[in-house]
């Protein structure tokens, strides 16, 4: 009886090994580029390059008891999970591995992506990169000195055991917040992940390292552009939920008192800030585990979200095709001098504007110009 049990176990092990090898051969040989894009959100070339980047961290030792899973199979398991949000039970059948193995492999690959690739793909732009970003925003939206756009999005989670009400947001779901800053090409160069869903966007910003660097003057180089006798510094664009800061510009408050140049400025700023909204859309579209509730433990949710942002940048850097591309923004050609003056009024403390006189500071934050 014992011998039969051992034979069955040995047969099961051999069968699982054959299944793994069959899946690996399928991944390597059978698919065309469309299949790779649909299942892994990248081409085969990008997939193999990703495996090479992670290989030193994911390679396991061969032993007399078992042969480790190949790095390509490990990466495939993780990408499949992130791209489809498929249950681990289904992934275990698909790749011929155990449920616990599917879970542990996903965690290992996510950790490796954060440790190895985050310093390479999510970092504050260098001076040369900033020049390209600023020129990109200027060419498309005619806004000077813009180094990025900031916004936040909610990622659904299971209710945590500790302080669950802190994660219960205004949409009546439990979530954590992803704050991202993107460049003109929709690539993240700063992220902050893990704040409870009940926290406001402004509070998330204040608690982030981005705010600390912005306030102490280490976020951007001290570049200024002289326009209409005013020095305009580098800054990022935010919506009305964010505070108005020397390095963060927001729209004028909506109302009937806005002048036409201010309305034009708000429109142009909204169009430029849609860059971060589109980046979030691509992020969720590629890595659909972020579209639904993330069932991982709260201590690991931030690692998964961060890994998805890194992989998003990896795909954008590799110029991976994105089929759900939105139509280009239809931006009218407003008078650039009017836009520039509105930028000045949101940044500097006091400046004479041609349409409404002088803007003055109030508690260190510029007031919007008063209408006639």
Has this prediction a pTM greater than 0.85? no
Closest CA to 353 of 266, 260, 273: 260
- What does the radius of gyration of the chain's CA atoms come to, in whole angstroms? 25
Q: Express each pLDDT in 61-102 by its tens digit.
A: 877 777 788 899 999 999 999 998 889 999 988 888 889 999
Closest CA to 324 of 273, 284, 276: 284
pLDDT of residue 349: 41
- List Cα–Cα distances, 370 to 93, 195, 249, 259, 329, in angstroms: 66, 36, 18, 9, 30
Residue spans of alpha helices (H) in 116-259 = 118-121, 127-141, 201-206, 209-215
- Domains of the chain, residue spans: 31-119, 122-318
Residue spans of alpha helices (H) in the chain = 2-25, 33-40, 44-58, 71-84, 88-95, 99-112, 118-121, 127-141, 201-206, 209-215, 260-286, 298-317, 336-347
* CB contact at 8 A, 235 and 225: no
Closest CA to 140 of 44, 51, 273: 273
Query: What is the DSSP-derived secondary structure letter of residue 228?
Result: T
Least confident piece of the model among 63-77, 184-198, 200-214:
63-77
Residue range 96-125: mean pLDDT, rounded: 94
Q: What is the DSSP string of 337-365?
A: HHHHHHHHHHHSS-EEETTTEEE-EETTE
Residue range 295-307: mean pLDDT, rounded: 94
Q: From the CB of residue 97, how many other CB atoms can be counted at a distance below 10 Å?
A: 23
Closest CA to 238 of 263, 265, 269, 199: 269
* CB contact at 8 A, 143 and 149: no
Residue range 236-250: mean pLDDT, rounded: 94
Sheet order of strands, 188-196 included: 188-196, 175-182, 146-156, 235-237, 248-249
């Amino acid at each position: 009886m014992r011998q039969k049990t051992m034979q069955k176990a040995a047969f099961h092990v051999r069968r699982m090994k054959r299944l793994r090898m069959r899946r690996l051969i399928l991944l390597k040989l059978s698919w065309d580029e469309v299949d790779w894009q649909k299942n892994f959100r990248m081409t085969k070339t990008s997939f193999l390059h990703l495996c090479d980047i992670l290989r030193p961290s994911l390679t396991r030792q061969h032993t007399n008891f078992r042969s480790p899973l190949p790095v390509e199979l490990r990466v495939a398991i993780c990408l499949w999970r992130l791209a489809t949000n498929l249950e681990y039970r289904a992934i275990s059948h698909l790749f011929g591995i155990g449920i616990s193995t599917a879970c542990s492999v996903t965690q290992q690959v996510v950790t490796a992506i954060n440790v190895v690739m985050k310093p390479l793909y999510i970092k504050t732009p260098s001076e040369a990169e900033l020049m390209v970003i600023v020129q990109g925003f200027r060419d498309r939206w005619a806004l000077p000195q813009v180094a990025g756009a900031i916004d936040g999005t909610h990622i659904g989670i299971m209710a945590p055991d500790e302080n669950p009400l802190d994660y219960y947001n205004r949409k009546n779901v439990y979530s954590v917040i992803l704050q991202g800053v993107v460049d003109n090409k929709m690539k993240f160069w700063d992220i902050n992940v893990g704040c409870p869903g009940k926290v406001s966007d402004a509070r998330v910003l204040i608690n982030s390292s981005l705010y600390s660097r912005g306030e102490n003057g280490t976020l951007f180089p001290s570049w200024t552009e002289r326009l209409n006798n005013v020095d305009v510094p580098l800054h990022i664009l935010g919506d009305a939920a964010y505070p108005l800061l020397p390095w963060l510009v927001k729209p004028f408050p909506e109302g009937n008192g806005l002048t036409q140049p201010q309305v034009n400025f708000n429109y142009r700023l909204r169009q430029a800030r849609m860059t971060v909204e589109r980046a979030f859309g691509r992020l969720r579209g590629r890595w659909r585990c972020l579209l639904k509730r993330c069932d991982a433990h709260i201590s690991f949710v931030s690692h998964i979200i961060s890994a998805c942002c890194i992989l998003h940048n990896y795909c954008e850097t590799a110029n991976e095709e994105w089929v759900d591309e939105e139509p280009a923004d239809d931006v009218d050609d407003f008078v650039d001098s009017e836009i520039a003056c509105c930028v000045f009024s949101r940044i500097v403390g006091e400046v004479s504007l041609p349409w409404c006189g002088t803007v003055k500071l109030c508690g260190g934050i510029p007031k919007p110009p008063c209408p006639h």
